[in-house]
């Protein structure tokens, strides 16, 4: 019996299990919330989010600067973001967590508005709510309320030079975007660029899979002080979800993953080998005298799922999340191209 308990504790919780556990709890919280009836009283949050929020920056990892607390606080009442896009997609991009302020997000009325805006069915019980959530997030980019987001656009530009992504190309993208960047274009060109951006971002959102290390939003994520031990179960969920048989392009989009992988190696039957570590990449746009230095690493990840072992190669795009690259389309295109070449050498 004791051995069975140990085995159960070592089994990673699946993404579907996490979604069911959290959303069942959120559904019940929202149904009981007095705030939805205009009564002000404290509302409990999703227990897993509350627990993680208490431990993510605890002890030696706690913020010394109190002004930072709000920025790094995790949302416990907002709609969590586990994934967007096609869970069977060839290309997987892994982010840290949704970048939304917990102060804005942790309001039952706002959460209900998000549910309504996304068309998630809330009125037919918990199971229907969860199924509807998965369906709407798998087609997130197709929703009529979607507006082009700079972060989504960055993903589309990064992946534009990759082969076999499973993402349909958009004619003229990103060349026309790069050629017209920073120019005073006429109305017709502006309309064309706007259309290109929308088409490309909608495709990248629906035809690839985006996973989040943790689904609970915060305005910022402190990569220097995050508690690695409490993030291990979330990493295991990600590794459980990724299917190397069909998902051939796996990209971890933050230098934080190097730190997390160093910690995870040798723990919980996870083996991570750095084939290339922090390869330097020079990025330069036309007319610039100085180049910007970017980095990527290539890893071989092996882990056990049940009685089966899975092994796959992935890239850490260290510089992807750098804000200076958000609207630097030519550099992001070059960075994506060079990351692809390094991964496939």
pLDDT for 61 beyond 60: no
Other beta carbons within 10 angstroms of residue 38's beta carbon come to: 7
| Tally of domains within the chain | 1
201's tokens: 């971002």
Q: Could you tell me if residue 253 is inside a domain? A: yes
**Dist CA 156 CA 172 (whole Å):** 13
Q: Could you tell me if residue 310 is inside a domain? A: yes
The pLDDT of 156-177, averaged and rounded, is 94
Sign of the four-CA dihedral 190, 325, 297, 244: negative
User: Mapping DSSP to helix (H, G, I), strand (E, B) and coil, where does residue 209 land?
Assistant: strand
pLDDT for 181 beyond 90: no
Q: Could you tell me if residue 189 is inside a domain? A: no
Q: Could you tell me if residue 102 is inside a domain? A: yes
For Cα atoms 252, 263, 21, give the angle at the middle one, nearest 5 degrees. Answer: 65
The pLDDT of 259-278, averaged and rounded, is 96
Q: Could you tell me if residue 45 is inside a domain? A: yes
Contact 285, 331 (CB under 8 A): yes
Q: 324: which DSSP letter?
A: G
Q: Could you tell me if residue 176 is inside a domain? A: no
342's tokens: 């390094």
Of 144-148, 240-244, 302-306, 322-326, the one with minimum mean pLDDT is: 144-148
pLDDT value of position 3: 39
Of 39-53, 103-117, 292-306, the one with minimum mean pLDDT is: 39-53
Q: Could you tell me if residue 231 is inside a domain? A: yes
Beta bridge partners of 174: none
Q: Could you tell me if residue 193 is inside a domain? A: no
pLDDT for 255 beyond 80: yes
Which residue range forms the structural domain that includes residue 294? Answer: 2-144+208-343
**Dist CA 84 CA 134 (whole Å):** 9
For residue 16, give Cα distances in angstroms to 11, 30, 64, 131, 187: 14, 21, 36, 10, 46
Residue 282 backbone zone (phi > 0: left; psi -120 to 50: alpha; other: beta) = beta
pLDDT for 248 beyond 50: yes
């Amino acid at each position: 019996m004791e051995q069975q308990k140990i085995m159960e504790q070592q089994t990673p919780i699946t993404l579907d299990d996490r979604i069911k556990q959290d959303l069942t709890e959120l559904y019940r919280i929202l149904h009981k919330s007095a705030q939805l009836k205009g009564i002000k009283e404290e509302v409990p949050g999703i227990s897993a989010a509350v627990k993680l929020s208490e431990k993510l920056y605890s002890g030696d990892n706690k913020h010394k600067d109190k002004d930072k607390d709000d920025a790094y606080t995790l949302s416990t009442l907002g709609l969590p973001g586990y994934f967007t896009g096609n869970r069977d997609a060839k290309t997987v991009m892994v982010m840290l967590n949704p970048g939304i302020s917990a102060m804005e997000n942790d309001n039952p009325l706002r959460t209900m508005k998000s549910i309504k805006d996304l068309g998630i069915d809330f009125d037919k019980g918990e199971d229907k709510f969860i199924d509807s959530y998965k369906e709407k997030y798998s087609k997130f980019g197709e929703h009529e309320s979607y507006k082009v987001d700079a972060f989504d656009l960055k993903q589309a530009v990064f992946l534009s030079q990759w082969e076999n992504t499973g993402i349909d190309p958009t004619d003229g993208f990103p060349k026309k975007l790069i050629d017209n960047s920073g120019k005073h274009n006429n109305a017709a060109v502006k309309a064309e660029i706007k259309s290109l951006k929308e088409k490309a971002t909608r495709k990248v959102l629906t035809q690839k899979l985006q996973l989040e290390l943790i689904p609970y939003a915060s305005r910022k994520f402190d990569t220097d002080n995050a508690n690695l031990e409490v993030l291990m179960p979330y990493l295991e969920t990600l590794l459980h979800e990724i299917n190397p048989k069909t998902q051939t392009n796996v990209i971890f989009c933050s230098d934080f993953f190097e730190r997390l992988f160093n910690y995870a190696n040798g723990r919980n039957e996870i083996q991570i080998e750095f084939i290339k570590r922090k390869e330097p990449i020079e990025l330069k746009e036309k007319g610039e005298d100085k180049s910007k230095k970017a980095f990527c690493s290539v890893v071989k990840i092996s882990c056990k799922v049940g009685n089966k072992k899975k092994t796959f190669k992935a890239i850490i795009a260290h510089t992807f999340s750098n804000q200076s690259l958000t609207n630097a389309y030519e550099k992001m295109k070059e960075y994506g191209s060079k990351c692809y070449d390094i991964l496939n050498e």
